Amino acid sequence: MKIAVLAGDGIGPEITAQAVRVLQALAADGLAVEMEHAPVGGAGYDASGDPLPEATLKLAGQADAILFGSVGGPKYDTLPRAKRPEQGLLRLRKHFDLFANLRPAIVYPELAHASTLKPEVISGLDLLILRELTSDIYFGQPRGVRTNENGEREGFDTMRYTESEIRRIAQLAFETARKRQRRVCSVDKANVLETTQFWREVVTEVHGQYRDVELTHMYVDNAAMQLVRDPRQFDVMVTGNMFGDILSDEASMLTGSIGMLPSASLNARGFGLYEPIHGSAPDIAGRNLANPLATILSTAMLLRHSLHQEAAARRVEAAVRKVLGQGFRTADIAETGKRTVGTREMGDAVLAAL
Ligand code: IPM
Ligand code: MG
């Protein structure tokens, strides 16, 4: 099995290096994986003038899964949109039709005190945000900046969802909920936006085939509030691309740190890209400060969803829990009385636990 490792920019190379060590340890134990690296994002632009170089796309297409770090940085902020690092990631999502973005937010008992929320609000939380990833205002046309009829400049983007796009993510939400607590909350802004009123209609229709699952609807502003008021009311939250982007960052803080949240982006064939939900954190890049656990947990998702290695996935997750139990903390989840370690030392601890 082949994994394309696209480390990207900022802290990307440091955190993926630790995940690669985990995979190497599993390989030494008999797991048949090999890894190949290629540049993406700003690194892709530096290497060949394109955030998604042809050779990188080719490597990804030949692999069984993609392990992704993070992209972006101040150095690239003034590039035209097509050359910006984020385009490397967005084009990969679109090219492989990775419409289903799974972002689990789990509160480990060991980290209940690392969250900015009270432990009694978040302890035991096990929430799955299912974000649609290949449509919505992220990809809708037309978009741009133009001079309007009054001679004034204006920016515009288009929010758009087709029925089939809503159906497939809704089906997956119900299927996934069946393996969990059988509750789906669909998040929209149906009181204002036509597109999301249509979203609500289609999700409700699809629910007809999944009567054993409870379906509720919630406006996104209320959902943002409910997530910090009482997050444990949610089991599976299904939503569009943009709302999912925002709510998943919010949900990450329930778990203690954005440095803890993994993700899987899957297409209908189960091919996937696996990445931490956090960004490239240029402010701490190259300083051995970043938390590699979100990437290591993303590797566990890769093992589970693309390589069908459930036992190996659990082993990695258990190792992460073990190091948290042993008191290892990176700066983002630091606690008095615990050992604050760097990126590499956290990797060492996970390897030892493994
Ligand atoms: C994410 C990120 C990306 C997004 C950026 C880097 C394009 O914020 O994966 O959540 O907006 O989807
Ligand atoms: Mg985001």
348, burial (CB in 10 Å: exposed 0-12, middle 13-18, buried 19+): middle
Handedness of CA 89, 93, 94, 96 (dihedral sign): positive
The H or E element spanning position 322 is: helix 310-325
User: Same CATH fold, 107-258 and 1-99+267-354?
Assistant: yes
Please enumerate in sequence order all residues whose Cβ is within 8 A of that of 41, keeping only pairs 6 or more positions apart, or say none: 8, 9, 12, 51, 70, 71, 72, 76, 85, 86, 88, 89, 280
- Give me the catalytic one of 45, 76, 108, 138: 138
Tokens of 193: 């936006």
What single string gives the DSSP state of each residue in 242-258?
A: HHHHHHHHHHHGGGT-G
Query: Is the bond into 85 cis (omega within 30 degrees of 0)?
Result: no
Q: Give nearest CA residue, ligand 1 atom 11.
A: 245
d(CA 58, CA 207): 38
Inter-residue contact 178 to 213 (CB < 8 Å): yes
With vertex at residue 302, the alpha carbon angle to CA 300 and CA 308, rounded to the nearest 5 degrees, is: 95
Q: Which residues of the chain have pLDDT under 50?
A: none
Query: pLDDT per residue over 95-125, tens digit each?
Result: 999 999 999 999 998 888 888 999 999 999 9
User: Ligand 1, closest atom to CA 249?
Assistant: 10
Task: Specify the ligand 1 atom closest to the Cα of 245.
Answer: 10
Are 299 and 274 contacting, i.e. CB atoms less than 8 angstroms apart?
A: yes
At 222, list the tokens: 């209320």
CATH entry, 107-258, from 3.40.718.10, 3.40.50.1970, 3.30.230.10, 1.20.120.10: 3.40.718.10
User: What contacts 133, CB < 8 A, 6 or more positions away?
Assistant: 93, 98, 99, 100, 101, 241, 244, 265
Task: Tell me which of 81, 138, 243, 245 to substitute to probe ligand 1's pocket, judged by most ligand atoms within 8 Å of the beta carbon.
Answer: 245
- Which atom belonging to ligand 1 lies closest to the Cα atom of 86? 7
First to last CA, the chain: 21
Nearest CA to ligand 1 atom 12: 245
Which 3 state secondary structure label does DSSP give 309?
A: coil
Q: Tell me the domain boundaries of the chain.
A: 1-99+267-354, 107-258
DSSP category for residue 135 = -
Measured distance CA(24)–CA(29) in Å, rounded: 9
pLDDT in tens, 149-198: 999 999 999 999 999 999 999 999 999 999 999 999 999 999 999 999 99
Q: How far is Cα 267 from Cα 186, in angstroms, rounded to an integer? A: 20
Specify whether 221 is catalytic. Answer: yes
**Rounded distance, CA 173 to CA 231, Å?**
18
Question: For residue 263, which atom of ligand 1 is closest to its CA?
Answer: 9
Q: Which of 126, 249, 338, 348 is catalytic?
A: 249
Give me ligand 2 centre to Cα 245, in Å. 4
CB atoms within 10 A of CB 141: 8
Q: What is the pTM of this model?
A: 0.96
Q: Which of 77, 221, 230, 283 is catalytic?
A: 221
Distance 212 CA to ligand 2 centre (A): 32
Look at residue 234 and give its three-state secondary structure: coil
> Does the beta carbon of 89 lie inside 6 Å of ligand 1?
yes
- β-pairing verdict for 183-188 and 236-239: parallel
Compute the C-alpha angle 281/68/143, nearest 5°. 75
What phi, psi does 338 have (nearest 5°)? -110, 165
CB 86 less than 6 A from any atom of ligand 1: yes
Domain 1-99+267-354's class? alpha beta
Q: Does the Cβ of 184 fall within 6 Å of ligand 1?
A: no
